[in-house]
Amino acid sequence: MKSSTSAHWRDSGYQPMLFVIDAKAAITFLIFFLHPAIWTFSICVLSVIFFCLLYRFNISLRVFLRILASLVIGKAKIRVKRL
């Protein structure tokens, strides 16, 4: 049973994109279309720029948040005393 589509299992690792925009940034487009205002449009444009920069540097959102947390927290680790 051969499928007529050109999709393959190896394509499941790619980032979801809507044309050239990251799918995570497309969620802000939905918010803008449901509530059209200048501030929602500016949030939409800023999120598209942010996710395009992450895609350009080949960094996922999870990795970016870990980098940001390590910059905020620093190298100091909190020791938790266990019982």
pLDDT in tens, 20-67: 788 888 888 888 999 999 999 999 999 989 988 988 899 988 999 999
Assessment of whether the complete model's pTM goes beyond 0.75: no
Three-state secondary structure string covering the chain: CCCCCCCCHHHHHCCCEECCEEHHHHHHHHHHHHCCCHHHHHHHHHHHHHHHHHHHCCCCHHHHHHHHHHHHHCCCCCCCCCC
Q: Would you state the structure tokens that stand for residue 14, as one six-digit string? A: 């790619």
The rounded distance, in Å, linking the Cα atoms of 12 and 28 is: 23
Higher-scoring residue by pLDDT: 15, 59:
59
